[in-house]
Structure 1
Amino acid sequence: MTVHTQTDKRFRRSQHPTRRPRRAVRRWWRIVRGMSVAAGVAFGGYQATVASFLSIDAIVVRGIDQLSEGEVLALVAGLRDENILTVDLELHRGRLVASPWLRDGTLRRILPSTIEVQVTERAPVALARLGERLYLVEDNGTVIDEYGPRFARFDLPIVEGLALRGPDGRTVDTSRMALAARLLRQLSARPDILDSISAIDVSDPYDAVVLLNDDPALLHLGGDQFLERLRSYAELGPTLRERVPNIDYVDLRFGQRVYVGPAGESRGADPERFEHAVRAPDVNE
């Protein structure tokens, strides 16, 4: 037999969905949103403070002699106000060494906001005549800059015959420049003799021809022993002028025999063509 009993209402499941307190949810949402805004403002302020703190505001230049500090700073002007941690130093180094006056350069970070620029300058050793103009050149033949009044402080010999034939007329023959550089390097031990040279011609890469101040004779020195041969000429000069009053050139390349070309003869070294030859003093005595 089935027995039916009435269920106690206290144990019945509610037939209506439970309602959550909306006010509490909204309150928590406002709290979370407020905290997010506050965190964003705080982070933004921190970022702004850090960005300002690490913004490059000082550039120190070292190693300059020929260039001014302002000229170097102009090459790396883009560094200003960049973030010192993220700035591309290699990019700015490329702009730095693009200057024909600079052989090399390095950039170093000094926290919090300073960049140190260390440069190695090129050193001009001569004035090369390229076309109708004079240019400052390095000992390896690198053309540095066109010579002008602002470089009047350089007292350098003029080198002829360096240019190769080309569309711009500014390409330097490296073998001829090597000859000129070798001559200048050897004579650097005697600044008095080096200062007496007015011009150098290296059209022949095996024969350096020099012109001295206040002396119209062209001196053929060959490819080496430049100092010894110039000393020989200095000792022999009075004797040469007694025999040949008007000298066009003197060839000092053949050891103890010095060949003198009178004015009006073609220049060069052809011993069979010279009637005037005198024995030079032994430079080792």
Structure 2
Amino acid sequence: MARRKKQEEEIEEQKPASERNVVSRDTIRTALRFTFWTLSLVVSVFAVAWITLQGEQFLTNDPRFHLPARGASARDEGVEVRGLKNASKSAVMRVFENDRGRSLADVDPDRRRMQLRAVDWVRDASVRRIWPNHLDVEVTEREPVAFVQVASGFTGNFENPVTYKPMLIDADGVILRLRGSVPANLPLLTGVRVSEDVEVRRARVLRMMRMLDELRDFRDRIPEIDVSDPESIRITYQMQDQQVILILGNERFLERLNIFIRHYDGIRDRLPPRAILDVSLEGRITAIEPADGAHKK
């Protein structure tokens, strides 16, 4: 191996001096080019960082990019809100109160979106910057699917100790205050409470909606639905001459309702007002005595 190295050195010494100089100059040029491109890259990175910093400072400090302060213009307040029907516009505007007079670059659209979702009736929202100094806000409101009765106080009356106020509930189990126009023919949903976790309410609302979807042709005859029993749904069903409470169970709702309808003419004369009938048993209709014992089987 030593002999081979020695031979290479001898060959190198035998090369003309001009050839060795060319190799040396090529090596120097390569090193210079590498140094040049390295320095250029470093300078470019610092230049981009400096330009970015100056641009951010320009957007932050130049008043042309500031969201107008409330009252600065009666015609234009800098925040355009679309999609509002029942949600409070003033509550939506309060979300952006701290952004007024500040640069549009400092507004965090994602954070403001999450704050808007906490506003009553707002299900979701989008927030976009419109340069130089405007915000575009689009709100998607919640859609109520039923009325609920919420305890609002005490009467002092032993027989009826609690007073209730009507509110609304949507498919997510969120309880809503009454605002604006209310969709017609919404049923009253019982068996849900404000104190319950929203996921519990959501599961019960979904049970109701699944049942109503199956009974879609009879929805206008179902003014009230009780989902307090996780094993069975009760509905108040409106016949021509009276209301009947039907226990439907948790499945085959249409089949069980049709059994009641087919046999109604044969039992109508024996039914007390608001009779409770269990139709969840196979092919049977069983009269249930009310809890207060006011009616007999």
Q: Report the TM-score when normalising by structure 1.
A: 0.61
Aligned partner of 2:229 among 204, 219, 226: 204
Q: Which structure: greater helix fraction?
A: 2
Q: CA deviation at 1:210?
A: 0.9
Q: CA deviation at 1:152?
A: 4.4
Aligned partner of 2:268 in structure 1 is: 241
Q: Report the TM-score when normalising by structure 2.
A: 0.59
**Superimposed CA distance per residue, residues 28-76 of structure 1 (whole angstroms, 9 cap, x where no aligned partner):** xxxxxxxxxxxxxxxxxxx79x733212243232344433655533443
Q: Which amino acid aligns with 1:130?
A: V
Secondary structure, aligned partner of 2:250? coil
Alpha carbons 1:179, 1:223 under 8 Å: kept: no
Please list every run of 5 or more consecutive structure 2 residues that lacks an aligned counterpart in the other structure.
1-57, 69-77, 152-163
Q: Separation in 2 of the partners of 1:55 and 1:223?
A: 57
Aligned partner of 2:123 in structure 1 is: 103
Aligned partner of 2:219 among 194, 203, 217: 194
Pairing 1:51-66 to 2, within 5 Å after superposition:
51-57=62-68, 58-66=78-86
Percent of residue pairs identical: 27
Q: CA deviation at 1:197?
A: 1.3
Alignment of 1:123 with 2:143, yes or no, is yes
Aligned partner of 1:183 in structure 2 is: 208
Q: Separation in 1 of the partners of 2:93 and 2:258?
A: 47
Q: Separation in 2 of the partners of 1:177 and 1:88?
A: 30
Q: CA deviation at 1:110?
A: 1.8
Aligned partner of 1:143 in structure 2 is: 175
Q: Separation in 1 of the partners of 2:118 and 2:205?
A: 26
Aligned partner of 2:286 in structure 1 is: 259
The size of the alignment, in residue pairs, is: 213
Gap change, CA 1:209 and 1:120, over 3 Å in 2: same
Aligned partner of 2:112 among 92, 104, 110: 92
Gap change, CA 1:173 and 1:212, over 3 Å in 2: farther
Secondary structure, aligned partner of 1:254? coil
Q: CA deviation at 1:227?
A: 3.0
Secondary structure, aligned partner of 1:227? helix
Q: CA deviation at 1:222?
A: 0.9
Please list every run of 5 or more consecutive structure 1 residues that lacks an aligned counterpart in the other structure.
1-46, 164-168, 268-273, 276-285
Alpha carbons 1:176, 1:202 under 8 Å: kept: no
**Superimposed CA distance per residue, residues 70-90 of structure 1 (whole angstroms, 9 cap, x where no aligned partner):** 553344344444311123434
Q: Which amino acid aligns with 1:143?
A: I
Please identify the structure whose Cα radius of gyration is greater: 1
| Higher alpha-carbon deviation: 66-75 or 198-207 | 66-75
Aligned partner of 1:156 in structure 2 is: 186
Gap change, CA 1:86 and 1:259, over 3 Å in 2: same
Alpha carbons 2:67, 2:102 under 8 Å: kept: yes
Aligned partner of 1:220 among 234, 239, 247: 247
Q: What RMSD in Å do the two structures reach over aligned CA positions?
A: 3.4
Q: CA deviation at 1:191?
A: 4.7
Q: Separation in 2 of the partners of 1:100 and 1:68?
A: 8
Secondary structure, aligned partner of 1:193? helix
